Amino acid sequence: MTMVLDTTADPRRLRGRGALSNASGRYERERRVMFDDGWNAPPDDELPPVKTEVISDTTRTIIARNNSPDISFQQSINPYRGCEHGCIYCFARPTHAYLGFSPGADFETKLFAKPDAARLLAKELASPKYVPKVLAIGTNTDPYQPLEKQMRIMRGILEVLYEFRHPVGIVTKSALIQRDLDLLAPMAELGLVRVALSITTLDRKLARVMEPRAATPPRRLETVRALKDAGVPVGVMFAPIIPALNDDEMENVLAAAAEAGAETAGYVLLRLPLEIKDLFREWLEANVPDRARHVMSLVRSMRGGKDYDSQWYTRMRGSGPYAEMISRRFHLAAKRLGLNKETRERSLDLSKFRKPVQPGSQLALL
């Protein structure tokens, strides 16, 4: 393996980002390392920060499909690859290695956007072979990350879904979703949309270093309230749960979300597949060094002694006494707060799906 110098790996250039390094992806033939020989090193304030670069993704299809038995959807859309929110725990980070980039700083700074997403979606939905199933958006990278403010790709996707009367579930940690209430509200009236806000902590200081470019916790709670007031079914995702770091906040987060109008709640245990385990350890040592070993010890206690276990079902919830305690706490809190009541109103409506006549198409004569 070839060793090369990588100036983007300098921690002084990564202020305001989640990752503290930029190691090569697992498929690369070279290994990027940082080396300082001490010559002509500029002062900290003269080092330019790593800037976000946007790359056009020329994909030919927009709907991704899966058959995973432990998730609730079979179809999803990812308007962007990579995410500027910079959440250090993001389980999507390793996917950047498929693109020849690092799951570290590259994941936050080299973003792939799909500007043709709305046209591609309309084409796929209009296909005679298409069978409607609920679409999930935001299950990989956030569709309302900062880049969306200018590119409006998610906005275009929603316009197509509304036109086709197609149901969609959205997960985000961004207040930017409020921009699209003019679409989400009428979709909600037709039973076509539900939203979940990801709220990992109420501690603004922890959120700043763990999710550096995401909305603050108060702004996310404000967004829950705005969605509720607009008639959009909204829930909260307390995810990921990180033992000895944010797990003690579970009941407070659920209570705050319920008070703001959340009707449903869910949680996912911290997942550390592939490169994430090293990135996360590095982050722990830099930000909570007094708890780093304890956090990882508890993580391994819920993963069969390993940093991560990819088995179906247990990958989301973990196993062992600590994981069972978390599960009991969650379900007791959700019941006490009146969350997750089973109602027909929560189900998204597939029956309203239609295929509008597209410009240039031939009308049926018979």
> Model confidence over 103-137: pLDDT tens digits?
999 999 999 999 999 999 999 999 999 999 999 99
Q: Is 131 helix (H, G, I), strand (E, B) or coil?
A: coil
Residue 366's pLDDT band (boundaries 50, 70, 90)?
very low
pLDDT in tens, 276-296: 999 999 999 999 999 999 999
- Among residues 238, 253, 270, 217, which one has the least CA distance to residue 91? 270
- Residue 18: predicted pLDDT: 86
Of 241, 231, 203, nearest to 89 by C-alpha is 241
CA dist 173 and 34 (Å) reads 32
Q: Please report, as a single letter, which amino acid is at residue 218.
A: P
Higher local confidence (pLDDT), 112 or 10: 112
The mean predicted confidence, pLDDT, of the chain is 90
SS3 content of the chain, % helix, strand, coil (to 5): 40, 15, 45
For each of the domains in the chain, give its residue range(s) and CATH number, in order of start. 2-37+50-341 (3.80.30.30)
Convert the pLDDT of each residue in 160-202 to its tens digit: 999 999 999 999 999 999 999 999 999 999 999 999 999 999 9
CB 77 within 8 A of CB 137: yes
The pTM (predicted TM-score) of the whole model is 0.90
**In this predicted structure, which of 81-90, 220-229, 292-301, 343-352 has the lowest mean pLDDT?**
343-352
Q: At what angle do helices 153-164 and 181-189 cross, to 10 degrees?
A: 20
pLDDT at 104: 94
| Structure confidence at residue 365 (pLDDT) | 42
The per-residue pLDDT for 342 is: 66
